[in-house]
Every structure is written in structure tokens, then in C-alpha cells.
Amino acid sequence: MILKRLLLLLILSPFIASPLSADEDFISHYEYGQMLYTYPRGVSCVECHGEAGEGKVIAEFRDIHGKEQIIGPDIRGKRLDEMILAMNSYHDIMPRYYLTDEEIKAIYDFLKEKSKRMNVRRK
Ligand code: HEC
């Protein structure tokens, strides 16, 4: 029946009409780093270090010393080995993550590339 064939063609068309090239199957190294930076296994780095690792104010409060701020530092200037060391240690505010060296490298590369794309100036 013609209708049945038409239906089959419709269902199969995405596979026939647009065969994916080999590298379209995979996300790029940049996207992988972005994904890890935004959704690591734990709290998003973006929350405390900003979109491109430029740093940001996490919280502001008042105490006996007056106005206080908790800051997520600018991490764009960090070397890869510093970043790996930081990710594998315990901190006061930053949670402990369990990322592999390859995952940290992907985040590191993403931050470098992102800063370049945004053309943000280093402090
Ligand atoms: C809850 C807020 C928070 C989150 C989420 C967070 N950080 Fe941090 N990070 C900090 C703070 C604050 C520091 C400074 C050390 C401290 O006081 O904990 C820091 C320090 C660092 C350092 C070391 C900077 C230095 O001066 O040596 C690196 C690198 C870093 N963070 C990367 C990351 C990455 C990558 C992620 C995500 C996987 C992340 N952080 C998630 C708050 C955060």
C-alpha cells in the first residue's frame, strides 16, 4: 500500500536525508568542558566562579566588621596543575569534587577558550 510506504519513508527520512558525518556524532572538546563546568558532579562552578571563571560575589552580609563579602575567585589565570591541585583538595567554601584529570583539563581548556571568545579582560 502506498500510504504504508510513505509512512515508512517518513519515519526513516531523518536517517536517510541527513547522514551524520563522523564528528557530528560527538560533542566538541569545548562543549564537553562547558558541560562539566556547568554541570559537574556537584554544585555548578558557574554559581561561584561566573560564566567564564572571572569570579563573582557569592554572598554579602553584615557583621561587626561591617559589610562583608564571600567571593568566588577569578580562576582564569590558573595553570592546569594548580587547577588539578585545587580540585583535589578540601576548601572552606568550595565543595570537594571528584573529577578526573581529563575532566579538569576539559574545564581548563573550556575556560581558556571561553575567555578568548568573550574577549574579557583579565584583572
Ligand atoms: C560554592 C561555591 C563554589 C563552587 C560551586 C566552586 N567553587 Fe571553586 N572556589 C570557591 C572559593 C570560595 C574558592 C577559594 C577557596 C575557598 O575559600 O574555598 C575556590 C577556589 C577554586 C580554585 C583555586 C583558586 C586558587 O586561588 O587557587 C579553583 C581552580 C576552583 N575553585 C575551581 C572550581 C571549579 C572548576 C568548580 C566546579 C567544578 C568550582 N571551583 C566550584 C567557590 C566555589
Residue pLDDT, tens place only, 5-63: 766 655 655 555 444 455 555 789 999 999 999 999 989 999 999 999 999 999 999 99
Q: Where are the domains positioned within the chain?
A: 25-118
The span from the CA of 6 to the CA of 96, in Å, is: 55
The span from the CA of 115 to the CA of 95, in Å, is: 24
Atom of ligand 1 nearest to the CA of 44: 5
42 Cβ neighbours under 8 A, 6+ residues apart: 95, 97
Query: What are 89's three cell numbers?
Result: 583538595
pLDDT band at residue 118 under the 50/70/90 scheme: confident
The span from the CA of 44 to the CA of 114, in Å, is: 16
pTM above 0.85, yes or no: no
The span from the CA of 73 to the CA of 30, in Å, is: 22
Residue to probe by mutation, ligand 1, list 46, 48, 92, 105, most atoms within 8 Å of CB? 48
The residue with greater pLDDT, 122 or 47, is: 47
Is pLDDT above 60 for 90? yes
pLDDT at 26: 73
Is pLDDT above 70 for 3? no
pLDDT band at residue 116 under the 50/70/90 scheme: confident
- Torsion 84-90-93-95 (CA) sign: positive
60-80 pLDDT per residue, tens: 999 999 999 999 999 999 999
Does residue 40 line the site of ligand 1, with CB under 6 A?
A: yes
Residue to probe by mutation, ligand 1, list 56, 69, 74, 94, most atoms within 8 Å of CB? 94
Q: What is the CATH number of domain 25-118?
A: 1.10.760
